[in-house]
A and B are shown apart, each in its own frame.
Chain A
């Protein structure tokens, strides 16, 4: 056991756990952040996607020792900036408006993959959006509404 320190959604976190514990388990079990979901547990489905230093990763594949000193953003942190004005993240609003969630298990990961895409300057074209969420499986929506929601938030390319 070692103490690992990192930032989660802007706040410092410290956990005293085995270094091989999955980031997913640290978030859900040790920090109580259950917004991040476990789907397949082997990096196929993307349900556990979070941002690590701004990059989307499957938190089921990241040992916590590799998170020491780094910045983690989860679905709970998505609305952090928007909360001051009493609303959700624009991406979350767009998912609601477009009916981009059904059962909801893929939604947190889908939102984080889309957030990484938008933060990197991604535009509203369908192909790059589909590539950006290719690692996130949804068994309900058929993806069209999810793609529409992400496109609605994206800035048009110049």
Chain B
């Protein structure tokens, strides 16, 4: 049975900030990660908990000034049902649909996926490929952290202990494409072996611009494969480019063997997924 540390359920953001500033406090939103993490088997039990479920400021999904704004408490189910997400960031809807099953999707949140910082977090490569920015806040004020700067090391993030994730901001430049692919043991309720997002701006004869290749489950954190991005930058999705990009990716990645898969499999599958995505994009 999990520990039952004392918990506060503030309704105002400033109250939440005060409680966090007092120290040794673990926030909890949907609980799908936290409830499993605080049994004492996986490290020390937090002294206090901070319930985010009464903070209405963290809710909602909207489209404002060319960006998709997701409240930190937006659940995977809300993302799947959101018409603005479906229309403007379908790759995120796809990613949300692969996380756990209904029970997890009804409770798990995008802010939690970021804060938990699992290398296998399924929305994280999408957010990386989309150049998303995380708005965080605390008593010291608010600041924006690009997702690309958020993951520091295995389950370590740039979020300070006295800060909360407030919102995820996804810019939606015109003409940008983003694709998502996940490989797991089964279609549902599977933690990924490899998860990938590919984004680009098609300039026609001038090739692709601002290419992003982001992956999960192949390193200590979700990562961008920058050498592979460089191969694709200014190029088009031809068979030759796809071969070279897949080869570069396989050489660039340093995955590990673990209970879910092997390094060799992850490297091979990552290269295949990228090749397939490029083939689909090139229509050959």
Interface residue ranges, A against B (CB under 8 Å): 18-22, 25, 41-44, 46, 49, 52, 55-58, 60-63, 65-66, 68, 113, 116-117, 131-136
Contact = CB atoms under 8 A, between A and B. Distances in A.
30 contacts: A18-B4, A18-B7, A19-B6, A20-B49, A21-B4, A25-B1, A42-B36, A43-B100, A43-B104, A57-B107, A58-B103, A58-B107, A61-B32, A61-B107, A62-B35, A63-B28, A63-B35, A65-B7, A65-B9, A65-B53, A66-B51, A66-B53, A68-B9, A113-B103, A116-B102, A131-B101, A131-B102, A135-B102, A135-B188, A135-B189
Contacts of A57: 103, 106-107
A135 B31 contact: no
Q: Report whether over half of chain A's contact residues are helix, strand or loop; otherwise say mixed.
A: mixed
Given A19-B7, A63-B28, A131-B188, A56 B106 contact: yes
B77 interface: yes
Contacts of A44: 189
User: Dominant SS at the B interface?
Assistant: loop
Interface string B153-185: 000000000000000000000000000000000
Contacts, number: 96
A8 to B, nearest CB: 18
- 8 smallest beta-carbon distances between A and B, as pairs: A135-B101, A134-B188, A18-B4, A134-B101, A19-B7, A20-B4, A55-B106, A135-B103
B145 interface: no
B101 A46 contact: yes
A133 B1 CA distance: 25
B102 A63 contact: no
B53 to A, nearest CB: 5
Contacts of B2: 20, 22
Given A43-B103, A57-B106, A20 B7 contact: yes
A60 B4 contact: no
B203 interface: no
B107 to A, nearest CB: 6
B102 A61 contact: no
A7 to B, nearest CB: 17
Given A20-B5, A20-B7, A66 B31 contact: yes
Given A43-B100, A43-B104, A134-B101, A63 B31 contact: yes
Contacts of B104: 43, 58, 135
Nearest to B186: A134
Nearest to A116: B102
B3 interface: yes
Contacts of B260: none
Contacts of B28: 63
Nearest to B9: A65
B86 interface: no
B36 A135 contact: no
A44 B191 CA distance: 11
Contacts of B7: 18-20, 63, 65
Nearest to B1: A25
A128 B216 CA distance: 27
B120 to A, nearest CB: 14
Interface centre among A43, A44, A60, A116 (most CB of B within 10 A): A43
Nearest to B38: A20
Nearest to A130: B188
Given A55-B77, A65-B53, A132-B102, 4 more contacts: A56-B103, A58-B32, A61-B103, A131-B101
Interface string B247-281: 00000000000000000000000000000000000
Contacts of A42: 35-36
A109 to B, nearest CB: 9
Contacts of A58: 32, 103-104, 107
